Structure 1
Amino acid sequence: MDGLPLYQRHDQAFSSQYANIEQASAAQERVLVGAPGTIIEHKRGDAVYYARQFMNAEGKRQQESLGGPKGDPVADELVTTVQGQIEETKDLIGRIRELAKLGFQIADNKTYATMAVLYNHGLFQADGVLVGSHAYAVLLNSLGIMALAYETEDIDIARARQLALRGVPSGGLLEILKETGIDFVPVPGFNRGDPSTSFKQAGRTRFHVDLLVPSKDSTFPTVAVPELGAHASGMPYLAYLLGQSHMGTLLSRHGAVPVRVPDPARFAIHKILVSRLRTNMLVKSQKDIQQACVLLAMLGEHRSGDIELACADFPRSARTLIRRALPDVRRSLDAHDGALAELEEGLGA
């Protein structure tokens, strides 16, 4: 094995600390959006009302009304609950800061706020899945490994089938996203009159959220997502990626939020496939291969059988595309013969 290893394992003690954060994060029924902040009181005439004051995802001071007046049992109980959430989140943040120093993946504040509002509306609990580079970062942390991360302003959310969601606001996904405090706007469709499948932050920024669904063939159709009052881009072979998923935890300097991510072996194999679909995007194709090989290297050496199992369900119609990518995969896995052998055997290559 002449090449350099693609990853390093975190010390077991640090992985255990991450697992404790995951457990605490999963216990949250609702995630605070933005920094934890503090409870303040407003006087209106002779009555006192409550609010949570905090820094939002863009570093601006914001207030969230907690009702009142002071002395009302319902309002006082809510304040007690939110105060508990503030204290728990501050404790999480202290532990997350330590992990950040050790090379764990930390999301930016805007991504965290976006994941928080989606979690609070039950999207991940109803089988919505975070995919793309942010999911990759979550998988690195959960697997206990350190590798090069890729900065991205793309958030990719996918769903395999209609989500059983309750309490979606009349404005649908766009209204949910605006609960972050970020001014999201629809991105115009490629052709005039096409519905939007993406939402971006207004102004000169590339921060955006894309909604994805499986395509029934090799095309990229626009598909209605009625439960979110939105449309999505169809993606070939996405159904394979979404075939197995689990809850993970996205870390940030504002807290931790549970998110659903794909099975790591399926994620890796799907990334190899996507690299061949991006025929005119060389940089992204190389990123796809790199991310895939990092995960394959770890799985091949520490979770034998996962790659083979993921290959068993791989669509036969995509095997030609995968084989075209194998020369690049072989070069990347030069220092990880076991992972490469398991992948080639699973694909019959």
Structure 2
Amino acid sequence: MLGSPLYQRHDQAFCAQLANVEQAAAAQDTVLVGAPGTILEHKRAGLVYYARQFMNPEGKKQEESLGGPRGDPDVEARVETMRERILQGKDLVGRIRELAKLGFQIADNKTYATMGVLYNHGLFQAGAVLIGSHAYAVLLNSLGIKSVAYETEDVDIARARQLALQHVPTGGLLAILKETGIAFVEVPPMTRGAPSTSFKQAGATRFHVDLLVPSEDDSFPTIAVPELGAHATGLPYLAFLLGKSQMGTLISRHGAVPVRVPDPARFAIHKLLVSRLRTNMLIKSQKDVHQACVLLAMLGDHRSGDIEDACADLPASTRALVRRALPDVRRLLEAHEGAMDELEAGIGA
């Protein structure tokens, strides 16, 4: 008896709603951090000054000064631009609220703010890639399918090669992250004196951002990322994952932001690879395999050839690792024979 399908497809009409949100998100000149908010007027010494009041990523009311006094042409132009952004943002939030009811994956507000400042500084446009469970959620939405969501406070940002950024603020990546309004600090490294490769929210929280780059071998070196004024952890096999990527859209209750994510077939096969490396982390290994199989199932059912194309670029030295995951994969893909056949053909099982 075949097992249960690993996913459900969204109705075509709902996918069209997402496509409209993605189009509107891509048209934004700047992603607003926090909820869209509203324009306030403050009187000081008989003059009127403007501010944007909004809920920040931590759910607290915050104000952003827009300057003044009222009547100054530059100030009025700035306020009018902000009004337009707020209207666009509120329209997006309303549409996203409907998508959430339909079962689309919705990111938390801190992750949205983090993606927003990275997008505003051009990181995704320059080739930076969102990976990990947040990328998985973006891929589920873009493929038009529903499956089990995985909550995570890990934000993983990777790059295959130096990013061609026009400008990075003094303070580098840490300064960019602080533009969210979240109090990011560097995470002390395990090796004393080594540079940090991770940033976390200060205090009793697990929310953090890791910077990752491909390793040239099976080691996990610390590698300088000069264009971001930061360091990254080198990961084996990451070059395969980053070899092909696409733009997607991360949606949250505060808005939507374009992000770069891996090709779904490469994402799935890379998950099978890393699942065999986590020999002492059973829960994470099982999560990796499940995420991989959901994507493989959809691709095998509706995008024949994608899995084999990704496998063709898989380094020969890694195929044995993927084959070690096959017993778990076969059990999950019982109802998706096409995906199983394509994967086995691709890795020579």
TM-score higher than 0.5: yes
User: Residues 102-131 of structure 1: CA distance to partner in whole angstroms, max 9, x if unpaired?
Assistant: 110000111111111111111101110000
Distance in 2 between the 1:63 and 1:317 partners? 54
User: Residues 62-107 of structure 1: CA distance to partner in whole angstroms, max 9, x if unpaired?
Assistant: 1112122222222111111111111111111111111101110000
Q: Look up the SS of the partner of 2:114 in the other structure.
A: helix
Distance in 1 between the 2:179 and 2:285 partners? 33
Structure 1 residues 210-225: aligned runs within 5 Å = 210-225=210-225
Runs of 4+ in 1 over 6 A off after TM superposition: none
Q: In percent, how many aligned pairs have the same letter?
A: 78
Distance in 2 between the 1:63 and 1:224 partners? 36
2:2 aligned partner: 2
Mean CA deviation greater in 129-138 or 317-326: 317-326
1:278 aligned partner: 278
2:91 aligned partner: 91
1:54 aligned partner: 54
The Cα of 1:329 is off from its aligned counterpart by 1.0
2:250 aligned partner: 250
Distance in 2 between the 1:78 and 1:178 partners? 23
Opposite residue 292 of structure 2, the aligned amino acid is A
2:120 aligned partner: 120
Distance in 2 between the 1:79 and 1:189 partners? 43
Structure 1 residues 112-191: aligned runs within 5 Å = 112-191=112-191
1:305 aligned partner: 305
Distance in 2 between the 1:123 and 1:323 partners? 35
Q: Look up the SS of the partner of 1:209 in the other structure.
A: strand
Matching of residue 290 in structure 1 with residue 294 in structure 2: no
2:327 aligned partner: 327
Distance in 2 between the 1:93 and 1:159 partners? 30
Per the normalisation by structure 1, the TM-score is 0.98
Opposite residue 63 of structure 2, the aligned amino acid is Q
Opposite residue 246 of structure 1, the aligned amino acid is Q
Q: CA RMSD in A?
A: 0.9
Matching of residue 104 in structure 1 with residue 104 in structure 2: yes
Per the normalisation by structure 2, the TM-score is 0.98
The Cα of 1:169 is off from its aligned counterpart by 1.2
Matching of residue 23 in structure 1 with residue 23 in structure 2: yes
Distance in 2 between the 1:166 and 1:173 partners? 14
The Cα of 1:47 is off from its aligned counterpart by 2.9
Mean CA deviation greater in 41-50 or 310-319: 41-50
Mean CA deviation greater in 40-49 or 322-331: 40-49
Structure 1 residues 216-235: aligned runs within 5 Å = 216-235=216-235
In structure 2, stretches of 5+ residues that fail to align are none
Q: Look up the SS of the partner of 2:251 in the other structure.
A: strand
In structure 1, stretches of 5+ residues that fail to align are none
The Cα of 1:196 is off from its aligned counterpart by 0.7
